[in-house]
Structure 1
């Protein structure tokens, strides 16, 4: 089994067709990132088409919340 990462929460995005992700230590920090992304999207700063939150579970990244579509 893989070792649990120090930051077991991941916010993944598709931005201009490119997959990107940032890792976070807690779910609240991950969702703070989601909130910030949504604000930047509304301001026209990013062309993010999808936001997905993942959690490290049983040795793999599992989708925790999917479909946080562009607002």
Structure 2
């Protein structure tokens, strides 16, 4: 068994994220396993817009995956 600490970049770095109400809704929907088309329909936008929003959030947090963004948002009680 490896005794090295598990380094979670989302948890170990002090980062902030400006989340609009639509972004919070989008993340909450993804956290509940909504699909991109479902999110886009609810927000009244295209799936390309959803993809751009996700890409911006990942870039802002300097993470690679949507789940890392969701974990960050849940831990910070943003969603």
TM-score range for the pair, normalised by the shorter chain length: 0.3 to 0.5
Larger Rg, first or second structure (1 or 2) = 2
By percentage of residues, which structure has more helix?
Answer: 2
Compute the TM-score of the two structures, normalised by the length of structure 2: 0.30
Compute the TM-score of the two structures, normalised by the length of structure 1: 0.33
By percentage of residues, which structure has more strand?
Answer: 1
